[in-house]
Amino acid sequence: MTTIQKISKKEKKAVFLIKDISYSLANSIRRSVQEVPVLAVDTVEFYKNDSALSDEILAHRLGLVPLKADKSLNESETCTCKGKGCMKCQIVIKLKATGPCTVYAKDMKMKGTEVIYKEMPIVFLEKGQQLELTAQAVLGKGIQHAKFSPGLVFYNSYPIIDIKGEFDKEISETCPRKAITEEKGKIKIDPLKCDMCEVCVEKTHEEKKGQIKISPSETDFVFTVESWGQLTPESLFSKSVKSLNDNLNVFSKELKKL
């Protein structure tokens, strides 16, 4: 039976231990994070741009500013306007600034959403330089463009560790992750810190002091979920699993038509 254990949790990062799944399922969950829709600037119309950066570079920077979407916002494909753009699927953003100043993400004026990292710099304006623009933000998925990526999900196989021999301080000091400790005169390796670099394995072989064998599990995986701020790590992970399940349901229906 598949079980999930939370190992650590920060504001935008969480680590889980998931037991009894396959490599293919673990990789499918990792890839499905790009199926989770988030809000990002999609089009920009410039009225004035006296800055040192071109319109294209500024539009690219605006697209990478993480935005928190209102729950009532719809994807353009599912909206009743059928992708034409309306208040239900599109957020209008206005930005107007005159130098000398640094233009930050917090200077973007909008309703129905908010900037996550308000002090993110966009461009510096010299004295007399002006910037004025209107942008449209929409919901999108990472499979369409990287600016719609909600975060990062990666995993490592849970290490299966077999230790023989007494504790040796010299061997423990070789571990770059500080995963080796002493317990009642014996070597103890924390499997959640171990990344299977096998430096300790090579050292014990060279010193001929006991034996350490580390092998990757084929059913247990340590997942790290890092959000860019639009969603909590737990929500991002659950939505990734839901997206995978939805795609499998669609695939199943298509198979039945054959």
SS3 (DSSP) at 66: coil
Q: 153 Cβ partners below 8 Å, 6+ apart?
A: 29, 30, 33, 223, 224, 225, 226, 236, 237, 240
Give the fold, CATH level 3, of 37-146: RNA Polymerase Alpha Subunit; Chain A, domain 2 (2.170.120)
* Listed ranges 6-10, 79-83, 197-201; the one with the highest mean pLDDT: 6-10
Q: What is the pLDDT of residues 47-62, one digit of tens each?
A: 999 999 999 999 999 9
Query: pLDDT band at 76, cuts 50/70/90?
Result: low
**Partners of 131 in beta bridges:** 49, 97
d(CA 88, CA 112): 10
The domain segmentation of the chain, as residue ranges, is 3-34+152-224, 37-146
Q: What is the pLDDT of residues 230-242, one digit of tens each?
A: 889 999 999 999 9
d(CA 108, CA 94): 6
d(CA 82, CA 104): 33
Question: Which segment of 47-56, 119-128, 193-202, 220-229 scores lowest on mean pLDDT?
Answer: 193-202
pLDDT for 126: 94
Give the fold, CATH level 3, of 3-34+152-224: Gyrase A; domain 2 (3.30.1360)
